[in-house]
Amino acid sequence: MGASSSGCGTSSSSSTLRQGQGGGGLRVVGKFLRGAIGFLLAMEIALFHILLRREKRRMAEYFEKNGGPILKEVNNIKIFKKEELKLILKSHNIIGKGAFGEVYKGLLNDQEVAVKKPAVNVDAAQKGQFANEVIIQSRIIHRNIVRLIGCCLEVDVPILVYEFISKGSLHDILHGDNLKPLNLDQRLSIAAESAEGLAYMHSKTNTTILHGDVKPANILLNDDFVPKISDFGISRLIAIDKAQQEKKKATYSDNGNLIESFLDAHKKKSKGPELFDMEITTTGDQELLECLARIDVECLEYDVDQRPDMTYVAERLLLLKRSHDN
């Protein structure tokens, strides 16, 4: 009995010792795991702060490169933070897309806006024109020109924020997916007011502003079909002096075959459908249409010295509109 009891006591002690050794091993493993997890979390936090500082430094560099120190002093232009536009720059908000980049619709401070995000592959020369575009538009306040609200400079290719124009472009309404019938009165008003906007740019600002890409796709219409000229991406500031006054002539964005067909038809003294859409040739006001055709031909003169300036064109169109209204 004594020997047996002694043997059992030895076995129990050995088992307790092994359990103690096992528990100590688990505690060591647990401490190691907690230490490793803590180290990884610390590394992640440190990496996050490094990346955050790097991103802030990159945004500061973009801001500097994109003319931020100059543009933040420009009146009537708001400089937006990248974060402020984050919710708008989602794929479901895209309302326009092309070689120029993408246009998004959204809300900023309860105001509908159109946010223009240029293509990533914009070349260096085009990037250099950004500050020029902002400065140009900050100087323009006119009912027939799209208002630039602000811009974001904390990105490689700066983003522009415009007032939102509800009905889209004249091109889409006449030829695109947003087809809507426009009668002669509406078309005459659009032409006259677009000319007013261009005349203002050419002659009524401190420096002459040439748009350089006037076409139906760059004329937007609001709910009342009031035209607003947009897209100053290739505009140029030109000092007003005698040598450059000739550049204030009527300009157009060449549309190849359409313009050639119109001029050929006019030379042949064609009338009606051969010069204008069927929708407006049935009004019976052939005299008005002939006056419009003559203005068109003058504006399309190959020799710019033979073209009328936009102030003259705007006045003629306004007179035609008033006479037609009466």
**H/E element holding 180?**
none
DSSP-assigned letter for residue 235: -
Residue pair 77/151 in contact by the 8 Å Cβ criterion: yes
Task: Please calculate the CA angle 103-107-110 and round it to the nearest 5 degrees.
Answer: 150
Amino acid identity of 236?
R
Among the options 213, 224, 241, 264, which is catalytic?
213
Residue with tokens 């306040």: 141
Q: Is 241 an annotated catalytic residue?
A: no
- Beta-strand relationship, 78-80 and 148-152: parallel
Using alpha carbons, select from 66, 264, 28 the residue that is nearest to residue 157. 66
Residue pair 193/226 in contact by the 8 Å Cβ criterion: yes
Sorted by sequence, the CB contacts under 8 Å of residue 140 that are 6+ apart come out as 200, 201, 205, 209
Structure tokens at 156: 């490689």
- Is 78 annotated in a binding site? The answer is no
**Calpha distance 165→322 (Å, rounded):** 26
**Calpha distance 258→298 (Å, rounded):** 16
189: how many CB neighbours lie within 10 A of its CB?
Answer: 20
Task: Please calculate the CA angle 151-154-155 and round it to the nearest 5 degrees.
Answer: 95
By annotation, the residues acting in catalysis are 213
- Residue ranges of the annotated binding site are 117
- Residue ranges of the annotated binding site for ATP are 117
